[in-house]
Amino acid sequence: NAGVTQTPKFRILKIGQSMTLQCAQDMNHNYMYWYRQDPGMGLKLIYYSVGAGITDKGEVPNGYNVSRSTTEDFPLRLELAAPSQTSVYFCASSYKGGINTEAFFGQGTRLTVV
């Protein structure tokens, strides 16, 4: 049982480039999330999804886009990368949402924009 798998683990982007962070889960969870973690700061929610075809903005969505065509996959797209997007990105999933969230996290993608 792989849980939540994120690829790539590390990436360096140049300013203005675009990329997609991949996330897949094999637990048949309806709820999926993208967070970013900056040094000395708490995790911030970027986008979340409550099921295939349904996504919504979190706390810090600017500069990002998501899609959810299947239950398993929840890719995060960065368009026109900026240095402010240098961070560690975590994808997570849960069976339930909100206060019942026991979220399972992937291992993270460390992104540097130069």
Interface positions with another protein (CB under 8 A): 4, 33, 40-45, 48, 56, 58, 90, 92, 97-108
Comparing C-alpha atoms, which of 13, 3, 55, 11 is closest to residue 34? 55
C-alpha span between 47 and 2 (Å, rounded): 23
- Amino acid of residue 57: K
> Which CB atom, from 17 or from 22, has the smaller least distance to another protein?
22
> Which CB atom, from 92 or from 113, has the smaller least distance to another protein?
92
* Nearest distance from C-beta of residue 15 to another protein, angstroms: 26
Query: Omega into 39 within 30° of 0, i.e. cis?
Result: no
C-alpha span between 55 and 49 (Å, rounded): 4
Residues 6+ apart with CB under 8 A from 44: 35, 36, 37, 38, 58, 59, 60
* Nearest distance from C-beta of residue 63 to another protein, angstroms: 20
